[in-house]
Amino acid sequence: MLNMALLIMVFVGALATAQGQKTTPRKVPVTKPECVQGSICFSGEVREGQEFRKSLSPDLDFVLRLPGGIDIVPKPRELTCDLSAWVANPPLMAHHDTEIDAAYDWTAEQEVQTSPREFRFPTNCADYERLRDLSQTDPKKYFANLTSLAKGQGRLWITDSRVTHSHSAVGPENGSVEWMKFSVEIKLPNPV
């Protein structure tokens, strides 16, 4: 009987200690950023509420926003098409690798631990519009044509970051990314 009471006291004490301590999410090891020959590679830093922009070609810019995420956009801002990476990175109605926004039940810690992030993107308006239309009308054709219409590829490594739970667009429990450092590798299709 005494042993049982002692065992219960040890268990209750351990439980109280564990509940009183805040646990921090385990850091997932970041693999070293790579740069395959022929790729466009760069590093940068972005802060919450800001945007990092890098020219990839005469027609395309890489954009990273916090909150928001990764996008590839047409450089001539007068262009009337909606070129965006979201359409080439399923699942389209849930969190995917181009988003860094602590939404869809993701926490800020999970956002910065997901690295590298791999993504695809269309490199012209016609491919974007075709892929967008297929995503809304014919899922089979969408997946069958995904790689032929989204010819651009990228990877983003989050190399350092800071998160906070003092505020968030979704709620304090999700938190937000205050800043992050990153490296990017972009592969554009060869010109025809």
Position 14 scores a pLDDT of: 36
Position 75 scores a pLDDT of: 82
pLDDT in tens, 96-113: 889 888 877 888 998 899
Tally of CB atoms within 10 A around 159? 16
Asked whether residue 131 carries a pLDDT value surpassing 90, the answer given is: yes
CA–CA distance, 148 with 144 (Å, rounded to integer)? 8
Asked whether residue 184 carries a pLDDT value surpassing 60, the answer given is: yes
Helical pair 139-149 and 125-137, crossing angle rounded to 10 deg? 160
Asked whether residue 114 carries a pLDDT value surpassing 50, the answer given is: yes
Residue partners of 184: CB distance under 8 A and separation at least 6:
40, 41, 42, 43, 44, 54, 62, 154, 155, 156, 157
pTM for the model stands at 0.78
Over residues 68-75, the mean pLDDT reads: 90
Asked whether residue 26 carries a pLDDT value surpassing 70, the answer given is: no
Asked whether residue 67 carries a pLDDT value surpassing 50, the answer given is: yes
Asked whether residue 118 carries a pLDDT value surpassing 90, the answer given is: yes
Over residues 37-42, the mean pLDDT reads: 95
Position 29 scores a pLDDT of: 47
Which comes out higher in pLDDT, residue 40 or 73?
40
Domain boundary assignment for the chain? 37-187
Q: How many residues are there in the chain? A: 192
Position 78 scores a pLDDT of: 58
Which comes out higher in pLDDT, residue 6 or 117?
117
* 89 touches 96 (CB < 8 A): yes
pLDDT in tens, 142-152: 999 999 999 99
Least confident of 49-58, 98-107, 126-135: 98-107
* Core vs surface per residue 58-88: b (16+ CB within 10 A) or e: ebbbbbbbbbbbbbbbbeeeeeeeebbbbbb
* 185 touches 62 (CB < 8 A): no
